Amino acid sequence: MAETALIDELKSMLIEGLHLEDVTPDDIDPEAPLFGDGLWLDSIDALEIGVMLDRRYGIKITSDDKRNPQIFASLVSLADFVAAHRQR
C-alpha cells in the first residue's frame, strides 16, 4: 500500500486539478471508487488525471491501457501505481 503522504498529495491534486468544490481531503475515502459511487468522476476527469500524473510525476497513461480499471479503481490503487512508476 502506498504511503500516506502520497495519498494526501493525490487528494490535494484531485481537488485542485479537477476543481472539486465543497470537497476536502478528509471527504475522500482512499478505498472508495474514484468513478461511480465514490467521487463520481467521469471519463473527462480520467483524462485530466492522466495529464496531471504526467506533469507532476512523469507518468504516461494511455486511454487504451488495459490496466486502467485497476489503476483508477480507488485512490489507494492510483497511489500504488504512482509509487511504482513515478519518474520524479
Q: Which CATH number goes with the domain that contains 35?
A: 1.10.1200.10
Residue whose grid cell is 476536502: 24
- What confidence score (pLDDT) does residue 49 get? 96
- Whether 14 shows a pLDDT value over 80: the answer reads yes
Tell me the pLDDT tens digit for each residue of 29-54.
Answer: 999 999 988 888 998 999 999 999 99
Three cell numbers at 41? 468522476
Place of cell 494526501: 8
Q: In terms of residue numbers, what domain contains 64?
A: 4-85
**Cα-based distances in Å from 43 to 6, 8, 47, 53:** 23, 23, 6, 15
Instruction: Provide the Cα torsion 18, 65, 10, 74; round to 10°.
Output: 100
**pTM score:** 0.91
Residues in the chain: 88
Cell 483508477 maps to which residue?
A: 72
Average pLDDT, the chain: 93
Q: How many domains are there within the chain?
A: 1
